[in-house]
Amino acid sequence: MTSPPLQASAQAQPNIALVKYWGKRDDVLNLPAAGSLSITLDALHTRTSVRFDPALERDDIALNGRRDDAHGRRVGAFLDLFRARAGIAMRARVASDNDFPTGAGLASSAAGFAALAVAADRALDLRMPARQLSVLARRGSGSAARSIFGGFVEMHAGVRDDGEDAHAAPLLAAREWPLKVVIAITTRAPKSTGSRAGMELSRRSSPFYRDWIAAVAGDLATARAAVRARDFGKLAAVSEASCLSMHAVMLSTRPGLIYWNGATVECLHRVRALREHEGTGVFFTVDAGPQVKAVCLPEHAARVADALRGVAGVEEVLVSGLGEGAQVTGSAAVAA
- Nearest CB to ligand DP6, comparing residues 7 and 36: 36
Which residue number is nearest to ligand DP6 in terms of Cβ? 142
Q: Is 11 in the site for ligand DP6 (CB under 6 A)?
A: no
Q: Is 168 in the site for ligand DP6 (CB under 6 A)?
A: no
* Minimum gap (Å) between residue 215 Cβ and ligand DP6: 14
Which residues neighbour 247 within 8 Å (Cβ) at sequence distance 6 or greater? 259, 260, 286
C-alpha span between 146 and 38 (Å, rounded): 7
* Minimum gap (Å) between residue 172 Cβ and ligand DP6: 18
Which of 9, 30, 96, 253 binds ligand DP6 (CB under 6 A)? It is 30
Q: Is 206 in the site for ligand DP6 (CB under 6 A)?
A: no
Q: Are the C-beta atoms of residues 191 and 104 closer than 8 Å to each other?
A: yes
Q: What are phi and psi of 179, to 5 degrees?
A: -70, 165
C-alpha span between 74 and 68 (Å, rounded): 10
C-alpha span between 325 and 12 (Å, rounded): 6
* Stretch 249-288 residues interacting with ligand DP6 (CB under 6 A): 287-288
Q: Tell me the window of 47-55, 84-92, 135-143, 209-217 that interacts with ligand DP6 (CB under 6 A).
A: 135-143
Which of 71, 93, 131, 196 binds ligand DP6 (CB under 6 A)? It is 196
Q: Is 21 in the site for ligand DP6 (CB under 6 A)?
A: yes
Beta bridge partners of 182: 294, 319
* Minimum gap (Å) between residue 175 Cβ and ligand DP6: 23
Q: Tell me the window of 137-145, 159-167, 260-268, 308-316 that interacts with ligand DP6 (CB under 6 A).
A: 137-145
Q: Is 300 left (phi over 0), alpha (psi -120 to 50) or beta?
A: alpha
Q: Is 291 in the site for ligand DP6 (CB under 6 A)?
A: no
Q: Is 78 in the site for ligand DP6 (CB under 6 A)?
A: no
Beta bridge partners of 20: none
**Binding stretches for ligand DP6 (CB under 6 A):** 17, 20-22, 30, 36, 109, 141-143, 195-196, 287-288
